[in-house]
Amino acid sequence: MNKHEAEELAQRYLDSRSSHELVVLPDNTIEKPYGWIIDYEWKEYLEGKTKHPYLGSCVLVEKTGNIIRFPTNIPYYEAIRRYEAGEPLVPPRKTKAG
């Protein structure tokens, strides 16, 4: 798999999982030894139809073709750090004892 194929796979993934039209931003793709981190945005934002961007929007396409959607509640660089460290992207919820 190459960068272009990974971006196409990410676009198909996003198309199948959102009620909004999302667009992959190829200029922002980050290549890593294990795959590609692909940024995307709402089409409406890119066309100036809304003032609010889609924040925290990245997916990881592993070289195997597996896709991991990064959580939006942490910065993408923290998601990358956690992924590379083998940590959960979303920590388990803390429960109250008792």
- pTM for this model (two decimals): 0.83
Distance in angstroms (rounded) separating the CA atoms of residues 39 and 22: 10
- Domain residues for the domain of 15 are 3-85
Q: Identify whether 45 is part of a domain.
A: yes
Q: Identify whether 15 is part of a domain.
A: yes
Q: Identify whether 50 is part of a domain.
A: yes
CATH number at residue 32: 3.10.450
For position 92, what pLDDT does the model report?
76
DSSP at 23: E
- Determine what percent of the chain is predicted with pLDDT higher than 70: 95
Residue 15: what are its φ and ψ, rounded to 5°?
-60, -35
